[in-house]
Structures are given as C-alpha cells and as structure tokens.
Amino acid sequence: MSEFTHPVVRPRRLRQSPAMRRLTAETRIHPSELILPAFVREGTPEPLPLQSMPGVVQHSLDSLRRAAADAAEAGVGGVMLFGVPETRDAIGSAATDPDGILNVATRAVVAEVGDALVVQTDLCLDEFTDHGHCGVLDSRGVVDNDATLERYREMAVVQAEAGSVVLGLSGMMDGQVAAVREALDAAGHNDTAILAYAAKYASSFYGPFREAVDSQLQGDRRSYQQDPANRREGLREARLDLEEGADILMVKPAMSYLDVLSDVAAFSDVPVWAYQVSGEYAMIEAAAANGWIDRRRAIEESLTGIRRAGADAVLTYWATEVARWLR
C-alpha cells in the first residue's frame, strides 16, 4: 500500500486572501486605457435612449458635451465619436461637410474637454450613406474600393480640421490606411494618428449598433469585413495596416476574437486595441437584467479577459462607469 503524499506544490497559496490575489494579479484594468464610444444625433434637443443598449443614448450636442466631461472626470482615456446625420445620400455627403454633425460634435467635445480626453472619430461612411454601406457603390451596387478611398481621404482632412486626434478607420477598404495617411500629410496633418481597424469581422454582434446609428443597411458587409472563420487573415490585415503606416491597430469585436487579438498583440510593435462592441454590451446587460449573471462581475471579467488576451486599451460603452468603480 502506497502512502498518500500531500501536494508540495500548492497554487492555492497565492489565492488565499484578497490582499494576496491583488498582489499577484497579472492583469489590471486602468481608467486611462478605456475609451468611450459615443453617438451624437443631429437635431435632437434631448438624448434618445437606445432600446437594444440600455444605458446608452443617441446624444444631443449638449448631452454629449456632458458625457465627455464626465468621462474625463472619471479618468477615461478617450472618446470615439459616431455621428447620426439628419439626411443621408449615396456618397455620404454629410461626412465631409465641416458643418456635418460628426464634425460639429468633434469641435464641441474638443472645446469642452481640451486634451483631458483623446478625442477620436469614426472614419467610415455607413452612418452617412442612404444605402448604409461603408463606402460608395459602383454601377452594379458593389462597394467600390478605390472610389471609397477618395471619400475617406476627404473625410480624414475634415475630421482632423475639426480637432479629431485619432481617426478610427473602420471601413475595411483595401489600402485605406496609406490613402488616408497621404491625404492627411498633404494637408499638413502630420500629427493626426490613424487607428486602423485591422482585423474587423463581419459580425452579428454589431446588431444593436445598427439601431444606435439608425443604419439603413440592406444586405450585409461580408464583401469587405472579414469572415469570422479566418484567424490567419486577421494577422495579414494587421501586417498590411502596419506597412501602410497605422499608428494603432484594432481588433473587433473583442470577446469572440480573443485568439486574433492575442496573435496581433504578439506581433505588433504599435499599440493594439480591442472594441467590445454593441452586441457584447447588450448580451451582458440583458442577462444581468434577468438576474442571470452578476452585472458588475461580468463586466469586469469581460474587460479583464480582453486585456489579458493582449489589448492595450479597450473601447467599451461601460468606460465611464467602470472608470468610476476603479477609483
């Protein structure tokens, strides 16, 4: 009969108390690495709640200013602005109009918070086109890559002039980073940074966002956003964006793409961010509202997982709330 040997190696030693767990935690969330995405709607005097994203609104200009000030006060690192225009057309004219809602809102937020927050803007046409696609269409109704690049170049200069410091290129057109970099530099905006949505997947988890921006989209974005089945392709997109001059890389969505995030983080020599998208927000809020999960723990765990996988910063609709918890 062999004698029972007690374990010598005991991982539980480092889990025995909150103090020990705090001391040995490998990953921490800090307010400054949270970025708040915010929607601003043209013409609304009051913020409008979003059904599918409880707690998130389409802001008025005034409520957006207050939300930005609150985020800054909580120590959040940045804000990413999305515009919801009153009128849309085939080429998304409002996107390049200096008086278009996104550009007006950018100026308003910069005036409100100065550089207490890094003010960033979504650079994509889907909120501005009447067909809801991220680019302009050719005669067959297919998104025309190179014609879209021309629109992005104009949009970039207008956004930089409005005061956006980081342009979030989320349209997934080939060559968009190089095209926009060239346009910015030619206009003297050498200091405007490019956040390249390097690996952006055609995801069902953008569902609630479509309500948030009153999307007009018919069909889907699978001819430009990536196939969820592809991991290697995420690295390829990231490498191309780096070669084209991206300052920061983004992986999106976050939770279903942590392998891609980990791959990109291991290879990138620029910061890598992840976007915890509208559907990820909605799932946790819905489950918590039903009493099926602990809301705060689920939010913290989801953000910790995204950080642990390699994100240097996270775009999350909970940014201000989480930043306050962490104080």
229 SS3 class: coil
Q: Does 122 bind ligand PBG (CB under 6 A)?
A: yes
Q: Does 221 bind ligand PBG (CB under 6 A)?
A: yes
Site string for ligand PBG, 16-55 (x = CB under 6 A): ----------------------------------------
Main-chain phi, psi angles of 255, to 5 degrees: -65, -35
Q: Are 251 and 257 in contact (CB under 8 A)?
A: yes
Sequence-ordered strand ranges (E) for 6-129: 34-41, 48-49, 57-59, 78-84, 118-123
In the bound state with ligand PBG, the residue whose beta carbon lies nearer, of 116 and 207, is 207
Q: Are 106 and 83 in contact (CB under 8 A)?
A: no
**CB 282 → ligand PBG: shortest distance, Å?**
9
**CB 3 → ligand PBG: shortest distance, Å?**
59
Expressed in percent and rounded to 5, the helix, strand and coil fractions of the chain are: 45, 15, 40
Q: Does 303 bind ligand PBG (CB under 6 A)?
A: no
Binding residues for Mg(2+): 237
Q: Which stretch binds ligand PBG (CB under 6 A): 24-32, 60-68, 88-96, 118-126?
A: 118-126
Q: Does 285 bind ligand PBG (CB under 6 A)?
A: no
Q: Are 139 and 93 in contact (CB under 8 A)?
A: no
In the bound state with ligand PBG, the residue whose beta carbon lies nearer, of 84 and 269, is 84
Q: Does 206 bind ligand PBG (CB under 6 A)?
A: yes
Q: Does 277 bind ligand PBG (CB under 6 A)?
A: yes
Site string for ligand PBG, 153-192 (x = CB under 6 A): -----------------x----------------------
DSSP structure class, residue 16 = S
**CB 90 → ligand PBG: shortest distance, Å?**
17
CA-based torsion, 38, 104, 199, 312: positive or negative: negative
- Give the distance, in angstroms, between the CA of residue 291 and the centroid of all CA atoms in the same chain: 28
Q: Are 229 and 221 in contact (CB under 8 A)?
A: no
Rounded-to-integer distance, Cα 52 and Cα 278, Å: 9
Contact with ligand PBG (CB under 6 A): which of 42, 112, 126, 321? 126
Rounded-to-integer distance, Cα 222 and Cα 227, Å: 7
Q: Are strands 193-200 and 166-169 parallel, antiparallel or unpaired?
A: parallel
- Give the distance, in angstroms, between the CA of residue 168 and the centroid of all CA atoms in the same chain: 8
Q: Is 196 a catalytic residue?
A: no
Q: Is 200 a catalytic residue?
A: yes
Contact with ligand PBG (CB under 6 A): which of 128, 152, 201, 209? 209
In the bound state with ligand PBG, the residue whose beta carbon lies nearer, of 8 and 230, is 230
Residues designated as active site: 200, 252
Can you give the binding site for ligand PBG, defined by CB under 6 A?
122, 124, 126, 134, 170, 206, 209, 221, 277-278
